[in-house]
Amino acid sequence: MSAFEDLAERVKAHLNVIYSTEDNSDLTHEILRNMRLDEFIATPEPHHNPWTQQDAIVITYSDSIKTEGEAPLKTLRQFLRANLTGFVNGVHILPFFPWSSDDGFAVIDYLQVNEGHGTWNDISAIAGDFNLMTDLVINHCSSRSRWFDNFKKGIEPGASYFVEGDPSHDLSHITRPRTSPLLRPTETATGEKNVWCTFSHDQVDLNFANPLVLLEFVKIIRFYLDRGAKIFRLDAVAFLWKDISTSCINLPETHEVIRLIRTLVEHCNTEAIIITETNIPNRENISYFGNANEAHMVYNFSLPPLLLHTLVSGDAKALKGWLMSMPPAQAGTAYLNFIASHDGIGLRPAEGLLSSEETHSLAELMERNGGKISWRSVDANTMKPYELNIALWDAFKSTFTHADDGHQLARFISAHTIMLAIEGVPAIYVHSLFGTSNDYQRAENTGHNRAINRHQWDLSALQDALEDSDSHHAQVFAELKNLLTIRKGQPAFHPNATQFTLHLGDHIFAFWRQCANRQQSIFCINNISDQAQSISLSDINLIELDAWWDLLTSTQLTRDQKTLELSPYQSVWLSNQNYHQIAPSGET
């Protein structure tokens, strides 16, 4: 059997699960032709890890940094090249397409760059400098898109591209991330129709039960690959498939669509990566790994709320319990770690990990710190806090017990020190790099809570802030660049290196990492409280024959040292190998 025939069989097997009542032979060949897999087929290696400890991603909008009179994508590339080369090697540019709402996630045209931001040449130029991560906004599109306009007119492409619902049906069992009505009444050429809108009435859900919709996205994926995209973020993919008899989340067909996309993408480029954006409870989230045949990476969505709670409470129990429960990612898969993003800090991933009382207390504290709360409907009469909308810098302003204790910077750096050491690939939101504060004016102007954490910097103002050594912006930037520099030199920080949780008391969050060849071990020990802590080195069980270094201070433990003294929110990375600033081989 030829490589093409073998791939065709695999693709058809995926389609037979998705469209079980159809003969999918023609669709199989149409998909392969549109992916140009009838011309060239790469040979992906099973369980291959196309990432090392040198990988780190920055998350940004195309216009997060602006210069008057210059296309924002050009400004962004200029800033990234000048300031982040050597510190991060990947950039996630949030939706840069024409859009109508939700800061890009209501896409009008998937094949165009927002003309106010730049061109495809600008995107490709950034992809030439960094591993480019792009959004595949796959669950829904804008109500102002050509497809939806055609839906209203009753012509293709578009007439059959959207999910319709019957308002007389009981829809209360459908999982919702928002409080708006699920169905949007829409006038069409053939009368009023009720269109499914999981998120907002400007974001109309696409009908993947129609193979033509799947084929459209196959073409879009190939288009992005041709322009340099390497990493695909499948936005809101958990809601993709609709079945009125279910909760319409995490359905088998959704998982199979992801398996199909992985098969297609990695046969085009063996280094390409699929990431699922599934802001849902932890166990459901990690199911998107499949058997190392679905997402290459899943977001570690439980980390942000748990780490925030840990550092503002001074209690590591919940975070330790979660870390112990996390299965190691199989070879060929990895966690994507983050603690802030363009969205808020989701609370659903903390369900079962934090109590309702702890979640509500955290939400109240974030409001005191200047943040806002977004809610979701549980049923017709009940709403729960869904998301904390706050800049991460302000989230650490105060704790449950102290309004202003002078430790804001220390807590902020501690959070990133922990995130950078945990198993997985780190992703840092651009505003966390600078310690950007809440943007109340932007939130007020847009009327959207999430805008509070979507500030737009003027490049000259940002450069002034980063050059002012007394500003917290400069201090945060310098600290994070130092952490990234140290991290990428440590084989034990490979995204798939061994990890074990340590138990050193409720005020200490600690874990152990070891690379595959066992030559390097790192004990990551973090004081998550506002009180000094003393740790007996006998409790860590350091191998006495080895010399041990704190990588963060480049200091060596003395042979007769019995304890480790930690200041409030201090971290140490104790290693038996001092690889600081030595270029790693990439081996684990």
Write out the binding residues for substrate. Answer: 102, 140, 233-235, 342-343, 450
Is residue 359 a contact partner of residue 324, using CB atoms and an 8 Å limit? no
Residues in the chain: 588
Tokens of residue 229, six digits: 């995209």
Is residue 429 a contact partner of residue 341, using CB atoms and an 8 Å limit? yes
SS3 120: helix
**Which of 165, 134, 148, 150 shows the shortest CA–CA distance to 100?**
148
Helix (H) or strand (E) holding 550: strand 549-550
Catalytic residues, by residue number, are: 235
The number of beta carbons lying within 10 Å of the beta carbon of residue 430 is: 24
Q: In what order do the strands lie in the sheet with 508-514?
A: 498-502, 508-514, 521-527, 571-575, 549-550, 555-556
User: Could you tell me which residues are annotated as the binding site?
Assistant: 102, 140, 233-235, 342-343, 450
- Torsion angles phi and psi, residue 438, rounded to 5: -55, 135
Q: CA 453, CA 339: separation in Å to the nearest integer?
A: 13
Q: CA 343, CA 442: separation in Å to the nearest integer?
A: 14
Q: CA 264, CA 34: separation in Å to the nearest integer?
A: 11
**Which of 74, 76, 58 shows the shortest CA–CA distance to 456?**
76
The sign one gets for the Cα dihedral 440, 444, 450, 456 is: negative
Is residue 203 a contact partner of residue 105, using CB atoms and an 8 Å limit? yes
Is residue 251 a contact partner of residue 274, using CB atoms and an 8 Å limit? no
Strand blocks (E) in 465-518: 498-502, 508-514
**Which of 89, 505, 402, 53 shows the shortest CA–CA distance to 410?**
402
Helix (H) or strand (E) holding 147: helix 146-153
Report the Cα 117 to chain-centroid distance in Å: 23
- Which residues fall within 8 angstroms of residue 44, CB to CB, at 6 or more apart? 266, 267, 270
Is residue 360 a contact partner of residue 491, using CB atoms and an 8 Å limit? no
Q: CA 198, CA 240: separation in Å to the nearest integer?
A: 10
Is residue 58 a contact partner of residue 477, using CB atoms and an 8 Å limit? no
Q: CA 229, CA 496: separation in Å to the nearest integer?
A: 23
Measured CA to CA in angstroms, residue 497 lies from 43, 484, 580 at distances of 25, 17, 18
Q: CA 295, CA 287: separation in Å to the nearest integer?
A: 9
